[in-house]
Structure 1
Amino acid sequence: MNRKAEIEAVKNLGEKIGYGNLMDIASGLWGISLEDKYGIKTGAFVPTVLPFINKKDRKIAEARFDSTMEHIRELIK
């Protein structure tokens, strides 16, 4: 599966079950996978709400998100 196909699959599922629900479930599954494979779950959650991102890292997080959105927009045109 290429990146464009992955984006379309996530878009379809997100629109079907809700993007927040998709991210919540994916984080939980990722945590289970990491814990089962490596005995850790750290890193299985990507904060998406500004209060969860410390102030010094917000600009980096926002720039990364903007870059991701631009990349996805280019692929789904």
Structure 2
Amino acid sequence: MNRKSEIEAVKSLGEKIGYGNLMDIASALWAVSLEDKYGIKAGAFVPTVLPFINKKDRKVTEERLDSMMEHVREMIK
């Protein structure tokens, strides 16, 4: 698959399920992969970049990331 076809695939899926939903799911999948492979808990979507979130909002963000990761893990079994 070349870059152009990858972009077209992402565009098609984003338009089909919504770009926010696509980013949310992709972030959780990436987070699951990083944690499973390297023991690193991190996501790719801005709300899951934990080091850049203030302490007040971090707990809620971590809980949401944990929830999405759990959901994705269940769905990909």
Q: TM-score range by the shorter chain?
A: 0.5 to 0.7
TM score, norm. by length of structure 2? 0.57
CA distance in structure 2 between the aligned counterparts of 1:10 and 1:25, rounded to whole angstroms: 13
- Indicate if the aligned counterparts of 2:24 and 2:45 stay in contact, CA closer than 8 A: no
Which residue does the alignment assign to 1:10? Answer: 10
Q: Which runs of 5+ in 1 are unaligned?
A: 55-77
- Determine what percentage of the aligned residue pairs are the same residue: 73
Q: Which has the higher contact order (CA 8 A, sep 6+)?
A: 1
The structural deviation recorded for 1:45 is 2.1
Which residue does the alignment assign to 1:66? Answer: none
TM score, norm. by length of structure 1? 0.57
Give 1 or 2 for the bigger CA radius of gyration.
1
- What is the Cα-based RMSD across aligned positions, in Å? 1.9
Q: Please give the secondary structure, in 2, of the residue aligned with 1:33.
A: helix
- Indicate if the aligned counterparts of 2:34 and 2:41 stay in contact, CA closer than 8 A: yes
Which residue does the alignment assign to 1:47? Answer: 46
The number of aligned residues is: 49
Which residue does the alignment assign to 2:35? Answer: 35
The structural deviation recorded for 1:2 is 0.6
Q: Which runs of 5+ in 2 are unaligned?
A: 54-77
CA distance in structure 1 between the aligned counterparts of 2:16 and 2:45, rounded to whole angstroms: 21
